[in-house]
Amino acid sequence: MDSSITRDLYRDIVDFAHATPPWVQHFAELFTELGLLLFAVLFLAAWWRSRTRDEGSIALAVLAPLATAAGYVVSESFKSVVDEERPCRTVTEAAASLVPCPPTGDWSFPSNHSAIAGAAALALALAWPRIALLTVPLAVLMAFSRVFVGVHYPHDVTVGLVVGALVALVFVLALRRPAQALLGTMRTSRTGVVLWFAGPGRASS
């Protein structure tokens, strides 16, 4: 999978990373992992916002983290088939990665972080369209950070974003109606915790 084009682009990006100020490097090292927590916070915000809306809205919000998990599972399945070694181990002419290179067996293609980011960005955009202005750039930046810190090729993160987004889209489209019906039933429950989770809502349009 590591063509000369992506090898050269990887080397250029990692060399650029080493030329940036230390604070930029430290930020990238943190963001490449903590960015996932930002999506978790957005999932909670989308769910809380949807509790006072109709069943279709809360169904999309509840499905968003599940669709993201599905994107991760599909990405991880591809990894076990492709078995591409990490560029921080194979592109020996490039500068050292900013973070420790994952061990052999933790394969490179596609990027799970990017798949999670792509799935989360799309699923959240479906549940909360206006937030796409935040989630899409965030996903792209997260994907780029994986190359910047030296643990993925550019094609790893590109495919990861696409795979995650497509899986999330199919997952949400397939399960939206069943989830909407289930949450509508939950809103008629007399059990406090169930009603709290589903929210009071409003009449479906």
The beta strand positions in the chain, using DSSP E, are none
User: How many CB atoms sit inside 10 A of residue 41's CB?
Assistant: 9
How is residue 149 written in tokens?
Answer: 């810190």
Q: What is the pLDDT of residue 2?
A: 46
Q: What is the pLDDT of residue 122?
A: 96
Q: What is the pLDDT of residue 3?
A: 62
Give yes or no for a cis peptide into 154 (omega within 30° of 0): no
- SS3 helix, strand, coil % of the chain, rounded to 5? 75, 0, 25
Q: What is the pLDDT of residue 67?
A: 97
Q: Angle at CA 1, nearest 5°, toward 159 and 149?
A: 65
In angstroms, rounded to a whole number, what is the distance separating the alpha carbons of residues 109 and 25?
A: 23
Helix (H), strand (E) counts: the chain? 8, 0
Ordered mean pLDDT values, 10 residues apiece, the chain (205 residues): 73 91 91 88 94 90 96 92 87 84 88 95 94 94 94 94 97 94 85 83 56
Sign for the pseudo-dihedral over CA of 14, 20, 26, 28 = negative
